[in-house]
Amino acid sequence: MRSVRARAALGATLVVAVALVAAGLAVLLVLRANLIDQADLQAEVAAREVAGELATGTPYAEVELDDEEDHPVQVTDEEGRVVLVSKDLRAVTGTGTSGVTPVSSAPAGASPSPGDDDDDGDEDGDDGARPGRGEVSSDDPDFSEGTATVDGTTADYRFAAVEATTPEGVTLTVYAGAPLAAEQEAVNTVRGAMLTGLPLLLVVVAGVTWLVTRRALRPVEGIRRELAAITASEDLARRVPEPGSRDEIAALARTTNETLTVLEASVERQRRFVADASHELRSPIASLRTQLEVAEAHPELLDLPGAVADTVRLQVLAADLLLLARLDAGEKPGSATVELGALVREEVSQRTGDRIAVSVEAPEDGAFEVSGSRGQLSRVVGNLLDNAQRHADGRVAVSVAADGGGVRVEVRDDGAGVPEDERERIFERFVRLDDARSRDDGGAGLGLAIARDVAARHGGTLTVHAAAEGGAAFRLWLPRSA
């Protein structure tokens, strides 16, 4: 089942079905329990009425058994013999005994029926007083379910058993029943209504879920169609439609458009990068080719130093492009421990023949350790020094110091500085300011871009500010090694 609408409709239908079945069972159980409680109460009342009459000494034949069909009665003695039943009771189950025929007379040793006179009571001078009143048990009655056949009709009943003691001390058990027909009819009616209404309700739930899901997913289909069109046309300037709602689909559309914007900018940057790289590579290659062609025709005119310079420039540019490609590919800088003070001193020591000497302020206590690639960090320091020496009038200084939870390397010069509105632009690839271009001795405008990318890959930052000497101050900040 590949359709989201179908899966949502099926899932909602199953959840509702389970919930309704559980709720229906709970309703049926509660309804049945309540109706049985009512039947128990009716049976108990009927049993206690009969037990009350027996406790007052009313003879069996004079006990009133009203509503025999609604409340059939069976009375047994201590030995389980039936002494009294409803007149039309023909069969019974679920009571103490299934007998429905009272004993005709008490056997030898048994107590007589309540109300029987003692014929010999006066011969010994007895004054003829009868025993006192018996009692009805106050304990909760025992309940049971069974059947009773009254006047030829068999039905289910709920029986209550109540004990009564006659004035003569005979303990009798009165079983009185209450019909369960009302309970069964009510339960069957509710069950039938549920079985009829449940399928209809599930169909409604499935249909409504299908329609709501289809309407909710309609913007998704529009997003999909637009993305397919963008893929086919390769036009990254197009954007997917954003619905006016504030739900997750609208957030998805906005995120998709933001991704397309970033992708468009990335592709455009890549195109400019390729174009600029081609332009920068064309100059030294064309110059080198020209010199070689001239040398082929006139060997005495070969400018060997110029050819070597063009070759070195081409080699440096190729190395820069390769490093940028690795950085763009997400190459991790590594986890070696690098002491920035020693790195800066080593980099400056290799510049003895430069146009402008570099002064260093870097303590030798080895307290400026960071994690990363020594080669890449050395490349950053070298690029910053190259840039400072290219623009300085007569002084370049570099310092290393602690800065919060990291280390700050600052390279300053006394040149013209960087205009404030150009301080971010100079970190773009192949960007050279006009005054720098006139003094450029072969740079392609990649040094500062590489330095910032490497700093970012190491979890640091690279910014430019105004130096105290009047020129530019480039600040490289890197987090300390853990």
Q: Write the pLDDT tens digit of every residue in 301-330.
A: 777 887 787 788 788 888 888 888 887 777
Mean pLDDT of the chain: 84
Residue 127 has pLDDT above 50, yes or no: no
Query: Is the overall model pTM greater than 0.75, yes or no?
Result: no
Number of residues that make up the chain = 482
What is the rounded CA–CA span in Å between residue 152 and residue 150? 5
What is the rounded CA–CA span in Å between residue 399 and residue 408? 8
| pLDDT (0 to 100) of residue 433 | 66
What is the rounded CA–CA span in Å between residue 28 and residue 310? 95
- Provide CB contacts within 8 A for 169, sequence distance 6+: 111, 131, 134
pLDDT digits (tens, 9 = 90+) for 345-366: 999 988 877 778 889 988 877 6
What is the rounded CA–CA span in Å between residue 371 and residue 457? 11
Residue 168 has pLDDT above 60, yes or no: yes
Share of the chain above pLDDT 90, in %: 32
- Provide CB contacts within 8 A for 286, sequence distance 6+: none
Buried b (16+ CB within 10 A) or exposed e, 171-198: ebbbbbbbbbeebeeebeeeeeebeeee
Q: Residue 142: which H helix or E strand, with range? A: strand 142-150
Q: Residue 251: which H helix or E strand, with range? A: helix 248-297
pLDDT digits (tens, 9 = 90+) for 42-94: 999 999 999 999 999 888 888 887 665 678 999 999 888 999 998 888 899 98
| pLDDT (0 to 100) of residue 366 | 67
Share of the chain above pLDDT 70, in %: 90
- The whole-number average pLDDT for the span 130-154 is 84
Q: Which ranges of 298-445 would DSSP assign to H, the alpha helix?
A: 304-328, 340-349, 374-391, 434-439
Q: Chain centroid to CA 264: how far?
A: 33
Higher pLDDT, 102 or 364: 102
pLDDT digits (tens, 9 = 90+) for 253-281: 999 999 999 988 888 877 877 777 777 77
**94: helix, strand or coil:** coil
Q: Which H, E and C letters describe 440-481, residue by residue? A: CCCCCCCHHHHHHHHHHHCCCEEEEEECCCCCEEEEEEEEEC
What is the rounded CA–CA span in Å between residue 396 and residue 278? 33
Give me the domains of the chain, ranges plus CATH numbers. Answer: 1-101+132-233 (no CATH), 248-328 (1.10.287.130), 336-479 (3.30.565.10)
Amino acid at position 298, single letter:
H
